[in-house]
């Protein structure tokens, strides 16, 4: 089997043009682990049964592998056995009939409103760059925009009167996002006072600029968020996407319907938005446990 694995890895490198440092290395590790399991259990890799494969999956589960890791192992084995079939070593690929385990759904990380306010308050709006930083945090939370959408906002995308911003989302789909009175105030003052100073007499149509007067990048926004966390002394992990999660979670907690939140986020499928209901349900659960008299009085 080891010779076949070596040939398969060479094939991946030469024919499939896979990244040697990632996919090929992972496949090599996963296939060698499978080969060692077969050897330890006196199994022939050319005569496997479904029960043999179930035993291997139980073995991985016993090692406390996550479902995502087990799915990766199965992906490597499907590809390897497809290679054996294509080269006439086997007639059928038994791994085609084996379903991957469902990936664990991670609940999105989100901020409490007080933590969001702490992030805002570390920046001094009388200083142009800090004014911009505060506006970035305000805009991410007010609109639920992705960081890639945020950095591509142009001046003509903004309607101050209607409190609307046009953003270009995934798949080049346009949508309208909205902002409130707090954002109107800080955005208006940024456009009048701070942005012209950052622009440095250059011609640039983007809303958010760096210290050289050029368009701010995704990485620039992430660095600003990191710096904000440090100044606000917030210990847990926060990214620009955390503010998008916070936007959605707070809307649902305050009674917004799921379909509206889906449209505001620009999700193609409602099922993508539904993960936020888990967060909302956890809040309802905690409210129930703390408020219901038959729970409160229970010792």
| Strand (E) or helix (H) holding 288 | helix 275-291
Residues 6+ apart with CB under 8 A from 75: 100
| Strand (E) or helix (H) holding 147 | helix 147-150
- Residue 215, helix vs strand vs coil: strand
Q: How far apart are the first and last CA of the chain?
A: 61
| Strand (E) or helix (H) holding 165 | strand 164-168
User: Cα(139)–Cα(117) distance, rounded to whole angstroms?
Assistant: 13
Catalytic annotation, residues: 146, 170, 241, 244, 267, 276
Which of the 8 DSSP states describes residue 177? E
Burial 262-296 (b: 16+ CB within 10 A, else e): bebbbbeeeeebeebeebbeeeeeeeeeeeeeeee
């Amino acid at each position: 089997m080891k010779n076949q694995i070596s040939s398969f890895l060479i094939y991946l490198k030469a024919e499939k043009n896979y990244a040697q440092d990632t996919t090929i290395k992972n496949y090599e590790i996963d296939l060698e682990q499978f080969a060692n399991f077969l050897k330890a259990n006196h199994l022939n890799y050319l005569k496997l049964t479904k029960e043999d494969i179930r035993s291997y999956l139980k073995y991985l589960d016993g090692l406390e592998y996550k479902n995502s890791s087990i799915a990766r192992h199965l992906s490597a084995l499907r590809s390897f056995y497809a290679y054996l079939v294509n080269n006439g070593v086997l007639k059928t690929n038994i791994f085609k009939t084996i379903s991957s385990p469902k990936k664990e759904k991670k609940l999105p990380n989100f901020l409490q409103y007080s933590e969001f306010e702490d992030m805002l308050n570390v920046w001094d709006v009388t200083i142009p760059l800090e004014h911009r930083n505060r506006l970035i945090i305000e805009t991410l939370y007010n609109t639920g925009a992705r960081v890639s959408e945020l950095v591509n906002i142009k001046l003509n995308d903004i309607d101050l009167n209607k409190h609307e911003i046009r953003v270009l989302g995934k798949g080049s789909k346009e949508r309208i996002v909205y902002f409130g009175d707090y954002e109107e105030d800080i955005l208006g003052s940024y456009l009048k006072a701070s942005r012209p100073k950052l622009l440095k007499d250059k011609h640039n149509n983007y809303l958010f600029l760096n210290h050289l007067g050029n368009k701010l990048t995704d990485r620039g926004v992430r660095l600003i968020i990191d710096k904000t966390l440090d100044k606000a002394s917030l210990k847990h992990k926060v990214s620009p996407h955390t503010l998008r999660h916070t936007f959605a979670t707070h809307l649902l907690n305050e009674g917004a319907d799921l379909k509206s939140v889906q449209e505001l986020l620009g999700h193609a499928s409602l099922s993508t938005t539904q993960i936020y209901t888990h967060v909302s349900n956890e809040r309802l659960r905690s409210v129930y446990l703390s408020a219901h008299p038959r729970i409160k009085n229970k010792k």
